[in-house]
Each structure stands twice: as structure tokens, then as C-alpha cells.
Amino acid sequence: MIKNGKEGDKVTKKQVKDSLLAQLKAKGATADYFTDMVNDYMTLWGVKDQLSTDIKERGVKFKDNSAAGNEMWKNNPSNKELVMVNKQMLALLKDLGLNEPTVDDSGGDGSDLI
């Protein structure tokens, strides 16, 4: 992710939420319905992070024991779930008519997210 134009710096959850809410405000979409959808997006953001962490820790495939006690390799179900969560996040952005959250690279304090 990019924060203030530097690769490798992770954008915070607060920055993402603030960016989405600022985009909604600029569009005049301030009803609770829209805020609730942003909250849903942020919930999915947390799920996405958990799935990514699981994939980093266990890998795309992991060793497990079968019911018979034999060691075997299994596909990590987090891979498939991560794709589904990302699709849902993109669908929410599309439904809201928003772009991906961005951070201005002017070095501001984050309050001027675009």
C-alpha cells in the first residue's frame, strides 16, 4: 500500500474510512445508509487483513493430518475467501460510486484525504 507516496507504508484503517467518508461528503451522500455501507466496507477490511495474515503464516498450502492419521497437504481456504471478500469490497465501492481510498502525498496530517 501507499501512504504519503511511499511504498511499503501501510495505510491505516482510519485513513481509509476517512477517505471514503470524505468522498461521500463531496458527493452529498451523507445519509446513515451510506455511512453504514462504509462501516460494512471497514468490517470487510478487517476480515481481509485476517485472511492475509493467515495466508502469510500458514502459506497457500499447509500440512495437515487426514482422518486416518496420514500427513497431507491442504489448500488454505483463506485463499478462496480472500478473493470473495475483495470482490465484495469492490462491489460496495461500486454501489457507493466511490473510488479506492487514496492518501494525498502532500505530507498532510491525513485530514485532507481525497
HEC string of 62-76 equals: EEEECCCCCEEEEEC
Asked if 3 and 15 touch (Cβ cutoff 8 Å), the reply is yes
Tell me the C-alpha distance between 85 and 92, whole Å: 11
**pLDDT of 10:** 78
**pLDDT of 6:** 54
Instruction: Report whether pLDDT(11) > 50.
Output: yes
Query: Could you identify the residue written with the cell 462491489?
Result: 91
pLDDT digits (tens, 9 = 90+) for 50-96: 999 999 999 999 999 999 999 999 999 999 999 999 999 999 999 99
**pLDDT of 95:** 93
Tell me the C-alpha distance between 26 and 55, whole Å: 37
Domain ranges of the chain: 2-96
Which pTM value belongs to this model? 0.75
Picking from 44, 11, 35, 32, the residue whose alpha carbon sits closest to that of residue 114 is 11
DSSP string, 15-36: HHHHHHHHHHHHHT--SHHHHH
- Considering the chain, what percentage of its residues have pLDDT values greater than 70? 80
pLDDT bucket at 2, cuts 50 / 70 / 90 = very low
